[in-house]
Amino acid sequence: MSGVCLIIGSNLSYKILYEVFMSCKLFCNIDAISHNVSFLSNKIHQKNGFLFGVTKVLCGSPELAKIFIENGCDGIADSRWQNMAKIKNSKIFNDLYNKKRLTKEIQFLNLRIPSISEVNRIIEFFDISLVSNYPQIEALDFAAKQQKKKHNVILMIDVGDLREGVIPEDAKIIDKKKWYDQVFPLVEKILKFSNIDLIGIGTNLACYGGIVPDTENMQLMVDLFDSINTDFNLKLKYLSGSNSSGLPLFFEGKMPDTVNHFRIGESLILGVNVLNRNPIKELRQDTVKLSIEVIEKYWKPSKPIGHGAQNAFGETVAFEDKGKMLRIIVSAGRQDLLVEGLKPIDDDIAILGASSDHLELQLLRNFDKYPVGSFIDFNLNYGALLAASTSSYVDMIFY
């Protein structure tokens, strides 16, 4: 997790912040994130759906969980029990309960299908788990019995993205009967557990295989959902058919109403359509930025001098001789950041590359800017945001 996670008043000057905290800071705009959460929760609730905000994008930040809860989320979702423990044990979160500021019961969802070695912690910190196979469900049932708890599960069904979930081994096109034959026997087994309650089915798309949610794969989920309810005399609560990738279909009005459970992280935090990374016009994109301190600024050659070999990461890099350039080094590198996911906010800055602890930049014009000790700001994509929020060398600051 990040070195410091702090909420500050928006009127506090950056100069004061820079004197107090680390040289690499992730600034999180409370108003902008709150707007995005409020807008999406209202839209989803109008369709009688449920919004679970995904906190892993900011490494299980209790501050983010608070923003989610106060702006309409029905649950908090994360893929790490360590993150959920951090949230539940935080003063910020407990103040919400102690001051009776919660208007509804908040559920906590384990996003990653459980590791059997971690089931005790998962039962301790989560109310619901996404599951895909019998051994992990059996382990969850055993751990729930030991802790004298009931644990809810959502059975994941793979409709083509090839991440987690039940799928026919010879699947090439969507064939409903093949999916039924795979899913129904596992449902029957789940219903025999005494400490596990099946409360829904779900699917994941556009994470591994990049497969887009569409009317065909969503209809398969609806048909499975309806058939399970009918054949097993159930009233499943959730059809969890959408992460951020399902929002375009939702906004187009083509998402089936039966799909009522949305696990959203990236679109809430970055305000983008995750299928193409274009801005969603109703959402704000001024939500996060990374600020890194300048530690060196010199005119230097553009091409290294001497005999070349591999760099520190085993790469052989070719350099073009562009003459001298004004080079800047800022105090973060590959150990902290996904460099490919950074974009300087100032068009006068270009990224040259990075070693483990140093990010190399070129100042293209306006050469008096950015003296040593000043800070340069960057926008981040999802991967860069995950890396920065997880690094212990980056301060996370809510303002």
Give pLDDT tens digits for 34-61: 999 999 999 999 999 999 999 999 999 9
Instruction: Indicate the average pLDDT of the chain.
Output: 93
Backbone φ and ψ of 30, nearest 5°:
-60, -45
Comparing 316 with 134, which gets the higher pLDDT? 134
Q: Are 120 and 146 in contact (CB under 8 A)?
A: yes
Q: Are 239 and 260 in contact (CB under 8 A)?
A: yes
Predicted confidence (pLDDT) per residue in 290-328, tens digit: 999 999 999 999 998 988 888 778 888 888 889 999 999
Q: How much is the CA Rg of the chain, to the nearest whole Å?
A: 24
Q: What is the pLDDT of residue 12?
A: 44
Cα–Cα distance between 42 and 260 in angstroms, integer? 13
| Residue located via tokens 């107090």 | 20
Lowest mean pLDDT among 97-106, 130-139, 294-303: 97-106
Query: Is a pLDDT exceeding 80 seen at residue 395?
Result: yes
Cα–Cα distance between 201 and 241 in angstroms, integer? 8
Query: Is a pLDDT exceeding 50 seen at residue 16?
Result: no
| Structure token digits, residue 300 | 């230097």
Cα–Cα distance between 375 and 71 in angstroms, integer? 32
CB crowding 197-232: b at 16 or more within 10 Å, else e? ebbbbbbbbbeeeebebeeebbbbbbebbebbeeee
| Residue located via tokens 């983010």 | 64
Total residue count of the chain as it appears in this document = 399
Share of the chain above pLDDT 70, in %: 93
Predicted confidence (pLDDT) per residue in 247-290, tens digit: 999 999 999 999 999 999 999 999 999 999 999 999 999 999 99
Q: At what angle do helices 91-98 and 62-70 cross, to 10 degrees?
A: 30
Q: What is the pLDDT of residue 100?
A: 56
Q: What is the pLDDT of residue 99?
A: 65
Class of domain 288-398: mainly beta
Query: Is a pLDDT exceeding 60 seen at residue 9?
Result: no
Predicted confidence (pLDDT) per residue in 338-367, tens digit: 999 999 999 999 999 999 999 999 999 999
Lowest mean pLDDT among 91-100, 238-247, 254-263, 389-398: 91-100
Q: What is the pLDDT of residue 311?
A: 78
Query: pTM of the predicted model, to two decimals?
Result: 0.92
Cα–Cα distance between 340 and 353 in angstroms, integer? 9
CATH 2.40.30 maps onto the chain at 288-398
If DSSP states are collapsed to H, E and C, what string results for the chain? CCCCEEECCCCCCHHHHHHHCCCEEEEECHHHHHHHHHHHHHHHHHCCCEEEEECHHHCCCHHHHHHHHHCCCCEEEECCHHHHHHHHCCHHHHHHHHCCCCCCCCEEEECCCCCHHHHHHHHHHCCEEEECCHHHHHHHHHHHHHCCCCEEEEEEECCCCCCCCECCCCCCCCCHHHHHHHHHHHHHHHCCCCCEEEEEEECCCCCCCCCCCCHHHHHHHHHHHHHHHHHCCCCCCEEECECHHHHHHHHCCCCCCCCCEEEECHHHHHCEECCCCEECCCCCCCCEEEEEEEEEEEEEECCCCCCCCCCCCCCCCCCCCCCEEEEEEECCCCCCCCHHHEEECCCCEEEEEECCCCEEEEECCCCCCCCCCCEEEEEECHHHHHHHHHCCCCEEEEC
> Cα 349 to the chain's mean position, in Å?
28
Residue range 115-142: mean pLDDT, rounded: 98
Cα–Cα distance between 344 and 356 in angstroms, integer? 19
Q: What is the pLDDT of residue 1?
A: 42
Exposed/middle/buried for 259, CB within 10 Å: 0-12, 13-18, 19+?
buried
Query: Is a pLDDT exceeding 80 seen at residue 160?
Result: yes
CATH 3.20.20.10 maps onto the chain at 29-279
Q: What is the pLDDT of residue 105?
A: 87
Could you tell me which residues are beta bridge partners of residue 327?
A: 298, 362
Active site residue 150: no
Cα–Cα distance between 343 and 349 in angstroms, integer? 9
CATH number of the 29-279 domain: 3.20.20.10
Of the candidates 56, 66, 86, 297, the residue annotated as catalytic is 56
Residue range 193-198: mean pLDDT, rounded: 98
Q: What is the pLDDT of residue 310?
A: 83
Q: Are 2 and 372 in contact (CB under 8 A)?
A: no
Query: Is a pLDDT exceeding 80 seen at residue 182?
Result: yes
Q: Are 208 and 235 in contact (CB under 8 A)?
A: no
Query: Is a pLDDT exceeding 90 seen at residue 18?
Result: no
